[in-house]
Amino acid sequence: MRILAPIIVLGLGVGAAIGAEFEVRQSEKAFLPERLSVSKGSRVRFANDEKFVHHAFVDSPQFAADTGDIPPGEARDIVFAKTGAFIVRCAIHPQMKMTVEVSEE
């Protein structure tokens, strides 16, 4: 028999996968990890570890999404509904960049 225990997201480490949920940290004006592979429909949480606002977005011809401002200590999600490789940027810090690769489920 398989026992399903409750899973706590924090403490599993950078980029840890929980079902179709992933977490990206925003720390020292960088996204961690810099590259993440997920399946289509996955929810990626962007957590702000800093004392100032971040604002993650994707703007590609195939897929666009925007978290809006993410206040310090808070998180916002993006659901990646299309396959492809998408660059995530921060609207406030142009040097911040990561890639999310989305494959078929």
Site of interaction with Cu ion (CB under 5 A):
54, 90, 92-93
DSSP label of 24: E
Cβ-based nearer residue to Cu ion, 45 or 93 = 93
Q: Which amino acid makes up residue 13?
A: G
Strands 42-48 and 21-27 come out as parallel
- What's the min distance (Å) between Cβ of 65 and Cu ion? 16
- What's the min distance (Å) between Cβ of 25 and Cu ion? 12
CA angle 43, 46, 48 (to 5 degrees): 160
- What's the min distance (Å) between Cβ of 31 and Cu ion? 9
